[in-house]
């Protein structure tokens, strides 16, 4: 898991961006790895973390929502994202 970094989300062919889409992908078993921003509101990220733990999906913590948004190729902050296809 140490090899998983923001480059994984930036270079992914398919990904989800945003907490609702990420949670859906986890629940459907499509998420390969999930990225969560440390500075995001726990009310937003906690359900995602719980779903990952329940399904055994790897979680990578990112320092900031701004950093995650940038890695996803968007100009707004992002609390969570997932790689669905590498």
5-23 burial, b if ≥16 CB within 10 A, otherwise e?
ebebbeebeebbbbbebbb
Give the DSSP H/E element, type plus range, for residue 34: strand 33-37
Q: What is the pLDDT of residue 1?
A: 34
Please, which pLDDT band fits residue 6 given cuts at 50, 70 and 90?
confident
Tell me the pTM: 0.91
Mean pLDDT of the chain: 92
Q: Write out the two tokens for 1.
A: 């898991």
Planar angle of CA 71, 74, 75, nearest 5 degrees: 110
- Residues 22-44: what's their mean pLDDT? 96
Q: Write out the two tokens for 8.
A: 């994984």
DSSP state of 14: E
- Residues 25-49: what's their mean pLDDT? 96
Q: What is the pLDDT of residue 3?
A: 43
């Amino acid at each position: 898991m140490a090899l998983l970094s923001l480059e994984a989300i930036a270079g992914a062919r398919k990904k989800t961006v945003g907490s609702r889409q990420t949670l859906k992908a986890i629940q459907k078993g499509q998420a390969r790895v999930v990225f969560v921003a440390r500075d995001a509101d726990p009310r937003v990220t906690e359900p995602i973390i719980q779903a990952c733990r329940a399904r055994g999906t790897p979680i990578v913590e990112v320092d900031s929502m701004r950093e995650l948004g940038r890695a996803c190729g968007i100009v707004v902050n992002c609390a969570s994202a997932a790689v669905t296809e590498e």
